[in-house]
Amino acid sequence: MVESTNLEKLIQEYPFLTAKYAPQFSSEDFEKIGIKIPEAGLEDGYIKLYPEDFIVEEVNPKGKICTIEKPQEKPTLQEGENQRYLNTTLVKKGMATFEAESIIAYFLKIPVRNISHAGIKDAVAITSQRISIKNPTLETVTAIEHSRMFLKDFEFNEPLVTEGGLAGNIFTILVRTKSNFDQAKIEERIEKIREDGFPNFFSLQRFGRRLENHRVGKLIIQRKFEEAVKTVLTESSPYEAPLVTLLRTKVYYAWGDWEKVEELFRKMANYFRDEVTLVRYLKREPKDFRGALASFPNLAKLYVYAYTAYLFNKKLSEIYQENRENPPQLLPLTSPYNPETLQVYGQYLKEENLSLEDFIIRELPFIRINRLRIPTFIKPGLLDYRFLPQGAAFRFILRKGSYATSFLSYIFNLTEGEPKPLWLNKELINTQDKFKEKEMEEIKEESLPQQKEIVEEGAKEE
């Protein structure tokens, strides 16, 4: 038994217990999320050594950029006609979107479900995005102070920020390389992408730090709610530290004793935020696993959408291998409201023992999979790059839902996390400064790259 009072001592004595290996942009890990594409001979590249290496600034539907700059003066609230919803820009460093929202909810003493966002941003990064806060505590919201996040640009008179309510993201990224990397080879790959685009796969981030989101999503679609929750709470992974694996194993054997399970997760409460949320519900309703998922709707939706992303990746991989020269421009996501789904994914659904009716999850009515048709290949907009002593710096824009790492993995043999390569140049630099001569305040519609997804409202569920 690992007692919390001894946890710090244990880590100091056995530091390997906290070592973890992140999923990589390798053929082995790509296959786990449905991607099968052969690429060889690329230059080695490493991302996200520091959050400063990976900067994401959201572009709202009107083309306004949410910058990461901190205001010089303390922000103030402008009174509005409707003060039920407050819109603000969240800037965070080195934390996930859900974690930042949980911290805000804690400060404001409101449920985390009262906070909404347009999209999820990278954790090991500096990111900015608009969020909406329902029924905020006005005297507290401007006083929130945290070392890794802040709020700015408060407004009452904007539309509510909802999922998908953004135009795209501007990325400023440093890919760290070996000192003798082949610049000509990288430029050749960049020009090919400028001309042809890159396969528009859903990347690793969509599938979680254990690459298990889509498997949980399938269990939800199959109505195996207890198994889904059990996978979230107990399944170990080679991508997590041994100490985390140990705690998950103990949770497995304590299954059903929710007081004990919460006690175990609280030993690493910051890491197990999502798990603690589910367990709190189960302490009140010990057998209601459907209700546990419903208590965290954003997470439940994420799992199901990840499964549709997995099927999309499998189909696009098939197209990339068999029809790369003349691919269809668009592919639908799996939706029970789109008759095209069976034509595209029918064989996969048969292999997975699923029907389209299964995707109408009446037990969790907040999960609705609309008709979406997604481009198979996409070109980044306003692409610019610099070669530096530390590697190659890039600045570009992608429409909502497209992944910067999918783009970069067609230029580099990309890695992140542990183990770090021995050749890594660890000098911390301000990547944005390398592009200061091209400051942007707004993004014009014609500057945005090809649309990531085309939404077609399906027939309403009867």
Q: What is the pLDDT of residues 86-126, one digit of tens each?
A: 999 999 999 999 889 989 998 999 888 899 999 989 999 99
**E strands of 41-136, at which residues?**
43-47, 54-59, 85-93, 115-117, 126-134
* Lowest-confidence region among 1-5, 60-64, 267-271, 296-300: 1-5
Chain-wide mean pLDDT for the chain? 87
- pLDDT at residue 173, rounded to an integer: 97
Asked if pLDDT for residue 150 goes beyond 90, the answer is: yes
The answer to whether the Cα torsion of 241, 45, 404, 145 is positive or negative is positive
Burial (0-12, 13-18, 19+ Cβ within 10 Å), 365: exposed
**How many CB atoms are closer than 10 A to CB 326?**
6
Beta-carbon-side half-sphere exposure of residue 314 (alpha carbons within 13 Å): 20
The answer to whether the Cα torsion of 141, 142, 147, 148 is positive or negative is positive
pLDDT band at 363 (very low <50, low <70, confident <90, very high): very high
pLDDT band at 80 (very low <50, low <70, confident <90, very high): low
- pLDDT at residue 436, rounded to an integer: 76
Angle between helices 340-351 and 297-322 in degrees, nearest 10 = 100
Share of the chain above pLDDT 90, in %: 61
Query: If you average pLDDT over residues 358-374, what whole number do you get?
Result: 92
What domains appear along the chain, each with residue ranges and CATH number?
33-52+168-200+378-454 (no CATH), 64-155 (3.30.70.3160), 201-375 (no CATH)
Provide CB contacts within 8 A for 69, sequence distance 6+: none
Determine the Cα–Cα distance for residues 248 and 293; give it in Å rounded to an integer. 19
Q: Are 407 and 198 in contact (CB under 8 A)?
A: yes
DSSP 385: E
- pLDDT at residue 270, rounded to an integer: 81
pLDDT band at 373 (very low <50, low <70, confident <90, very high): confident
Q: Are 109 and 137 in contact (CB under 8 A)?
A: yes
Query: If you average pLDDT over residues 399-425, what whole number do you get?
Result: 91
Tokens of 208: 């979680």
In Å, what is the CA distance from 24 to each residue of 5, 403, 409, 420, 425? Answer: 34, 15, 10, 12, 19
- pLDDT at residue 4, rounded to an integer: 46
- What tens digit of pLDDT does each residue of 309-326 get? 999 999 999 998 887 678
Query: If you average pLDDT over residues 159-163, what whole number do you get?
Result: 88
Determine the Cα–Cα distance for residues 365 and 301; give it in Å rounded to an integer. 10
pTM: 0.81
**Single-letter residue type at 360:** I
Strand pairing partners for 149?
92, 146
- What tens digit of pLDDT does each residue of 285-303 get? 999 999 999 999 989 999 9
Determine the Cα–Cα distance for residues 17 and 10; give it in Å rounded to an integer. 9
Strand pairing partners for 47?
416
Tokens of 302: 């994420």
**Single-letter residue type at 445:** E
